[in-house]
Every structure is written in C-alpha cells, then in structure tokens.
C-alpha cells in the first residue's frame, strides 16, 4: 500500500476524490468501514466534556521517543516512535507532544524533516495527523515556505479526516493576516466536519463586512452534508447576519442576489431547527434582531419567495 498522502494525491489527480471517502487504512480500524464519519471523532470530542488528557509522564515519555527519532533517525527509533504514537492517538498527543518538544529545545529543522516524513509517507492516519500538527509547529509566519510543506498541508486538508489538523497548521505557518488566502479556497472542497474546522480557523478579526470571509459565511458557509444547523450560529455570528438583514430592510436597499438570499435562508433554517443538539436562534446573540428583520423582509419583498421559497416556513418556526 502506498502512503496515505500519495494515495490522496492520486485520487485528486484522477478526479475521483471525495472529501469524506474511506482512507486506505480503514480495515485497520477493526470494523466494517470507518468507526466514525471522517473528522467527527475530533470534532465531537473537542465539543464535549469527555476528557482525553493523558498523564504528564506519559506525554513526556512519548516526546522523548519522538525527539530521539527526530535527532537520530533510524529504523529502530522510527519503529519505537510509531508504536508509541499509535497507542496514544493523535488528538490526545499532539498538544502536549509539541509543548515538550519545544521545552526540550528540539532542533526545528530536524523536527520539520520528521514531520514531513510522518505526514507524507505514513500509511496510518494517526501518524499522518501527528505529522501535520508537527509541520504546523516547526515554522512561523515570518519565514518563507520550505518547498513541499505547503503542498502537503493543502493536499491533506482536502480530506476531512485531516482538515481538523491541517487548518490550524496552515494558520500557524502563514499567520492570521494571510490565512484566509489559503483556507477560503478549501471551504468548497469539503462539506462535512472539515468545513467546520476551516470556518473556525478563518480570520474574522478586524475584518469589515463585505470582505470575502464575511461574505462567504452568509453565502455558502452553512451548506454542508451534515445539516444546516451544524454551522448556523457560527455563520450568523461571524457573518453578521442581523446586520446584513437590517441593511436589506432599508428602503433604498437592492434585492439580494440569489446566492446571498439562499445562503441567508440556509442560516435561518439552521438556526430554527431547534433540534436540542445544535445552537439555535435562541443562542445567537442577535437572534431577535435577525428574526424581526427577516420577517420584515418576507413581508415587504414578496419577490424573495421567487428566489427561495423557504421564507414562510422559517417564519412559522419562529412563531
């Protein structure tokens, strides 16, 4: 079997790739198919109260094994490192591992070599995840890309099993000021948990309304295969939904284009799902403003029904 990275590249080049498809190591998970939808394990655990923390001594011993392979690459050290990492699981290991490697003053250039090896040549997904995280940690936003790093991160980010790790790694490497340039083009290439991971890493600070990141949230940010409620509150909050709806209510306001109004209806439908699992209109800080402005628009601009017929149904949910 080729490495996961090489397999993924081949699938993309062949035009047969899907962001949530099975990875070549799925048989190793001990079940008929993946135990989790790609990206769901990390995403759900990070949003729950379940503890995945390990003891400091466990993390320290793991870091020693990884550091030994970084500084003295060999078949024996590689095997010891990979055995330890596979027992740990990437989600529980990467943050303390990076912290210990930093405190041990591990050579960053050598760490980058090992990160690239793990990310691009491993046949096990947990090893790829660790490699991605290390690759994000061994550079900074002020340096030029080392050849290959960007391609590896952007390629692996295409699969939702790895987007959770690749999105923050890309942000760490390019910095908040440039992160949207790299992550926004990926948003439409993933449509599950990976999309959520990217939306959380985009830079919305000091970003004026009308700029690409803000516009994207209201136009296409909510659309995903897992349900509109998943990202609705994030899109409403960071996309300034209430503010946009109030702008559209102005007497001199133009009719929104089809994509924008459909996207707004997606967000409003997600916020009014009231499924008891995801954030709803009641959790959105400006929910009352959004509700009132949306109702005003539906009443005053009947042509909006021709763009998207869901308006009345959404109003019924809010009553």
Burial of 72 (0-12, 13-18, 19+ CB in 10 A): exposed
The domain spans of the chain are 1-203, 214-319
Q: Is the pLDDT of residue 176 over 90?
A: no
| pLDDT score recorded for residue 138 | 87
pLDDT, tens only, 107-123: 999 999 999 999 999 99
Q: Taking Cα atoms as reference points, which of 91, 94, 143, 137 lies closest to residue 116?
A: 137
| pLDDT score recorded for residue 319 | 79
pLDDT, tens only, 41-92: 676 655 655 556 677 888 899 999 999 999 999 999 999 999 999 988 888 8
Q: Indicate the average pLDDT of the chain.
A: 89
Crossing angle of helices 90-103 and 125-137, rounded to 10°: 30
Q: What percent of the chain has pLDDT over 70?
A: 89
pLDDT band of residue 208 (cuts 50, 70, 90) is: low
Average confidence (pLDDT) over 155-172: 94
Contacts with 180 (C-beta within 8 Å, 6 or more apart), sequence order? 202, 203, 212, 213
Q: Is the pLDDT of residue 270 over 80?
A: yes
| pLDDT score recorded for residue 147 | 66
User: Comparing 25-29, 58-62, 166-170, 288-292, which segment has the lowest mean pLDDT?
Assistant: 25-29
Q: Tell how far CA 143 is from the center of its chain.
A: 24
Q: Is the pLDDT of residue 30 over 60?
A: no
| pLDDT score recorded for residue 291 | 96
Distance CA 39, CA 276 (A): 22
| pLDDT score recorded for residue 58 | 87
- 109-144 burial, b if ≥16 CB within 10 A, otherwise e? ebbbebbbbbbbebbbbbbbbbbbbbbbbbbeeeee
| pLDDT score recorded for residue 308 | 92
Q: Is the pLDDT of residue 283 over 60?
A: yes
């Amino acid at each position: 079997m080729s490495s996961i990275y090489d397999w993924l590249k081949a699938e993309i080049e062949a035009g047969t790739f899907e962001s949530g498809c099975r990875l070549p190591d799925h048989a190793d998970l001990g079940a008929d198919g993946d135990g989790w939808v790609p990206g769901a394990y990390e995403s759900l655990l990070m949003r729950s109260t379940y503890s995945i923390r390990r003891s400091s001594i466990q993390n320290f011993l793991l870091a020693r094994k990884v550091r030994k392979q970084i500084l003295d690459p060999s078949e024996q050290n590689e095997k010891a490192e990979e055995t330890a990492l596979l027992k740990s699981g990437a989600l529980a290991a990467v943050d303390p591992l990076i912290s210990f490697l930093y405190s041990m003053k591990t050579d960053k250039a050598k760490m980058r070599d090992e990160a690239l090896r793990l990310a691009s040549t491993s046949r096990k997904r947990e090893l790829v995840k660790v490699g991605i995280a290390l690759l994000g940690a061994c550079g900074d936003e002020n340096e030029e890309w080392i050849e290959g790093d960007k391609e590896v991160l952007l390629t692996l980010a295409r699969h939702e099993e790895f987007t959770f790790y690749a999105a923050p790694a890309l942000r760490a490497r390019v910095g908040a000021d440039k992160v949207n340039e790299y992550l926004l083009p990926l948003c439409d290439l993933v449509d599950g948990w990976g999309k959520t991971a990217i939306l959380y890493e985009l830079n919305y600070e000091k970003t004026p309304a009308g700029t690409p990141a803000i516009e994207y949230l209201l136009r296409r940010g909510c659309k995903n295969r897992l349900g509109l409620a998943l990202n609705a509150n994030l899109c409403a909050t960071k996309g300034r939904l209430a503010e946009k709806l109030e702008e559209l209510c102005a007497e001199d306001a133009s009719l929104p284009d089809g994509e924008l109004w459909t996207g707004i209806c997606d967000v409003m439908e997600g916020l009014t799902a009231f499924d008891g699992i995801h954030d709803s209109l009641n959790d959105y800080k400006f929910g009352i403003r959004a509700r009132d402005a949306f109702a005003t628009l539906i009443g005053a601009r009947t042509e909006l029904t021709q763009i998207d017929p869901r308006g009345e149904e959404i109003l019924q949910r809010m009553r």
